[in-house]
Structure 1
Amino acid sequence: MKKYEWLPTSNAPEIYPTEIFDFDSHFYLEDGGSVYIPTSVPNCNGWGNSGSTHTQGEDLKALPVRMEITWASFKENKFYTGNWDMPIDTLKKLFEKGTIDWRTGRISNYNEIIVNCAPGGIVVVWVYGNDQQIEVARFQAKERQFDIKKLSNNPEVTQKGYFEVMGKLKPEFEEEFKKKGIQHDIYDIYRKKYTWRAKTEIEGHQLMNIGFKMFNGEEETIFNEKIIEPIKENSFKPRAVPKQLNFIFEDSKKLQTVFEVKPFDEDEIMNLFQQADPNKPIEIILRMNVDLSNRRLIFKQGEKEIPIKKIDVENMWKYKG
């Protein structure tokens, strides 16, 4: 049985804050041990993001074979719970393969197992390391009753009062919540994948690196010829719709430039993918002149090209490594 250096962490969407009960939420490991799933109070730093991490157990840990979790969903005024087997074969393959730090070329590994909870009892689990994040499980929890006094030292506390305080959002997110309400299906919609790739068409420049962050919480970086997915191949593959995208490209003098889309307008990019032909691959192409003027980002499928308009074409800088 192999062991690895990793820690559990958790989070939730900005507009749907949660609280995971660490006394009732654990990963149970292949060697019989366990680690609890830590939480911020409340959890609301964004879908797919990591959160609190607590040093616990040995530095090297076996991989989890089972997970149990209980949490409060403040905007829904509900509690959820679940207990599931983890996809241990998938985890073993990923951790045995490991990752590579694209900045240094050093072989490393995944160092976080991330849990996020969303409205309707959705639980998604990812592994993360070196700007690579892969979804390994999607679970469905059930509603449960819970004594709110177990969470507070105040014997007079009520569930309504506690949830109102803990579910309060920053003003900009409160406005977003008022517009969207409770979306029970959006985090499954985000998980849909399309066959696509990103590339550059810039005269006199070579593409060195592409960094992807997808709406489903996955992340990917492809770069040089030393890894399994080299930038020179840059193959089409199933990916969720991109939330953020950055390119690093190099001129003949070895000077490198970064162009970053952070983030896409959700409605614009989602509509482009959803309205595309599901049977044809898609390209997102960064085009500009040799002097890096006339910058455009194009959504291309076959001969059809559509400009992606709602981006900041000035978000570009020299990369110093």
Structure 2
Amino acid sequence: MKILLINLLCSILLLQSCDKGNKQMNTENKKEFSYAVTFSAATGFTAEVHEGYLADENKKMICGVPKAGMEEGPWQYDGAKAGQGGNVIPSYIDLTYVAYAEKKFYRVEGALPKDKILAAFQKGFKVKGNETENGKSKWEDGTYEEITIGAAPGGVIVVWLSGNHHRTEICRLQAKETTVDANDFYDNPHNRTQQGFFDELYKISLSDSIKTVIQKTGIPYGLWDKYREKYNYRFRLHPYDEKDTFDQIYRLNYNGESEYLTDTKATEMYKKDAIPYNVVFIMQKYNAEIRFNDEELMVIFEKFKEKYPDKPIEMVLVPSFMYKDIKVYAECDSEKIELKKVKVVEIWGG
């Protein structure tokens, strides 16, 4: 994890920095932005593009959706780029894909929120550039670099913008089941029937763990819409010596969004956000990576939302002496619940 974090921070610095003397990116008045297009899938629920494209308001094709083979997620992954992209903001999508867990082809066709996409590109986000001679860093403008289309069971389609360790949802669409001859999709030397194609690809494209889940409880339809529910909360550190603070936070959420916060004020603000999946906390001496359990968090957050609808939620990290361990509590109003299913992946530093 240390190597991963170092690589992550180095790549952030590389991507976000400009040579001294270069002007900051001015995105406010731009109408076109270069982007790659990628396709992803819900974690473990493998899907694959048959054909598809993004188009402008006149349905003139801008670029294809890449046919880069099977995609099995995770939901926070952007998928393979495979050379597709453009610079005209899209207004329309037409995409057909196969969902191997469901043994179905789906098609989504309809409008994309062009104005919202353009506004997100123009707004972008602030990133830290190179350190100056006094050791401080200037805030600079950054923006997104990819449009990612994610497919989840039940024909759920989510579109995100991604870039520089930030990922934001643009819209949620609904695909419908469609018919595609397997022989038009897959060069089948064994002359399998349509059902034979689905059965064989089910066997080879899904992990044993996902097959076990499906056999026991079925496909968890609706789960990815639950992930999109947002709550008003923040992370707070309750340090052993009362002096430590968060310096940076890199978070990925279950809904596929992510952000990298490098400003102390930003890390302390309450924010409407989906439940966290994996979070890296950078403190003054120690650092920690913590992974959260979706079922546990959804139960607690829904309970707090019902009991205290106007109260924000605190996610409190309580380190032990010398940061040998970290306990996490969810607090709202006067109620406090310890999270039993969090996994402290690693603690390092000191």
Q: What TM bracket, shorter-length normalisation?
A: 0.7 to 0.9
- The separation in 1 between residues aligned to 2:158 and 2:312, in whole angstroms, is 27
Q: Does 1:318 align with 2:349?
A: yes
- Equivalent AA in structure 1 for residue 252 of structure 2: K
- Equivalent AA in structure 2 for residue 37 of structure 1: V
Distance verdict in 2 for CA 1:313–1:298, change over 3 Å: same
TM-aligned CA deviation for residue 295 of structure 1: 2.4
Which residue, 47, 54, 61 being the options, matches 1:27?
Answer: 54
- Secondary structure of the 2:91 match is strand
Per the alignment, residue 183 of structure 2 pairs with 149
- The separation in 1 between residues aligned to 2:220 and 2:126, in whole angstroms, is 36
- Equivalent AA in structure 1 for residue 212 of structure 2: E
Superimposed CA distance per residue, residues 236-272 of structure 1 (whole angstroms, 9 cap, x where no aligned partner): 221111111221111xxxxx4221112x122222221
The alignment of Structure 1 onto Structure 2 pairs a total of residues equal to: 304
- The separation in 1 between residues aligned to 2:93 and 2:71, in whole angstroms, is 19
Which residue, 162, 165, 173 being the options, matches 1:139?
Answer: 173
Q: Is the 8 A contact 1:99 1:130 kept in 2?
A: no
The unaligned stretches of length 5 or more in structure 1 are 251-255
Q: Is the 8 A contact 1:100 1:130 kept in 2?
A: no
- Equivalent AA in structure 2 for residue 216 of structure 1: N
Per the alignment, residue 253 of structure 1 pairs with none
TM-aligned CA deviation for residue 106 of structure 1: 4.8
Q: Is the 8 A contact 1:15 1:177 kept in 2?
A: no
Equivalent pairs: percent with the same residue? 27
Which residue, 195, 214, 222 being the options, matches 1:185?
Answer: 222
- Secondary structure of the 1:187 match is helix
Distance verdict in 2 for CA 1:102–1:271, change over 3 Å: farther
Q: Is the 8 A contact 1:6 1:112 kept in 2?
A: yes
Q: Does 1:47 align with 2:75?
A: yes
- The separation in 2 between residues aligned to 1:298 and 1:244, in whole angstroms, is 16
TM-aligned CA deviation for residue 297 of structure 1: 0.9
- Secondary structure of the 2:323 match is coil
- The separation in 1 between residues aligned to 2:70 and 2:345, in whole angstroms, is 35
Q: Does 1:8 align with 2:37?
A: yes
Per the alignment, residue 219 of structure 1 pairs with 258
- Equivalent AA in structure 2 for residue 139 of structure 1: L
Distance verdict in 2 for CA 1:57–1:77, change over 3 Å: closer
Matches within 5 A, 1:26-105: 26-29=53-56, 32-56=60-84, 61-101=87-127
Worse overlay, 109-118 or 162-171:
162-171
- The separation in 1 between residues aligned to 2:42 and 2:193, in whole angstroms, is 24
- The separation in 1 between residues aligned to 2:290 and 2:270, in whole angstroms, is 20
Q: Is the 8 A contact 1:30 1:62 kept in 2?
A: no
- Equivalent AA in structure 1 for residue 339 of structure 2: I
TM-aligned CA deviation for residue 290 of structure 1: 6.2
CA RMSD, 1 decimal: 2.3
Q: Comparing both structures, which one devotes a greater share of its residues to helix?
A: 2
- Equivalent AA in structure 1 for residue 314 of structure 2: E
Which residue, 205, 208, 211 being the options, matches 2:247?
Answer: 208
Per the alignment, residue 115 of structure 1 pairs with 149
TM-aligned CA deviation for residue 9 of structure 1: 0.4
Per the alignment, residue 330 of structure 2 pairs with 299
Q: Is the 8 A contact 2:66 2:84 kept in 1?
A: no
Per the alignment, residue 283 of structure 2 pairs with 249
- Secondary structure of the 2:281 match is strand
Worse overlay, 203-212 or 136-145:
203-212
Per the alignment, residue 6 of structure 2 pairs with none
- Equivalent AA in structure 1 for residue 111 of structure 2: D
- The separation in 1 between residues aligned to 2:119 and 2:217, in whole angstroms, is 38
TM-aligned CA deviation for residue 157 of structure 1: 2.7
- Equivalent AA in structure 1 for residue 98 of structure 2: A
Q: Is the 8 A contact 1:45 1:51 kept in 2?
A: yes
Per the alignment, residue 171 of structure 1 pairs with 208
- The separation in 1 between residues aligned to 2:223 and 2:187, in whole angstroms, is 35
Superimposed CA distance per residue, residues 112-162 of structure 1 (whole angstroms, 9 cap, x where no aligned partner): 111011222111101111221111110111221111110123372322222
Distance verdict in 2 for CA 1:294–1:260, change over 3 Å: closer
The unaligned stretches of length 5 or more in structure 2 are 1-29, 131-138
- Equivalent AA in structure 2 for residue 316 of structure 1: I
- Equivalent AA in structure 1 for residue 66 of structure 2: P
Q: Is the 8 A contact 1:10 1:52 kept in 2?
A: yes
Q: Is the 8 A contact 1:260 1:315 kept in 2?
A: yes
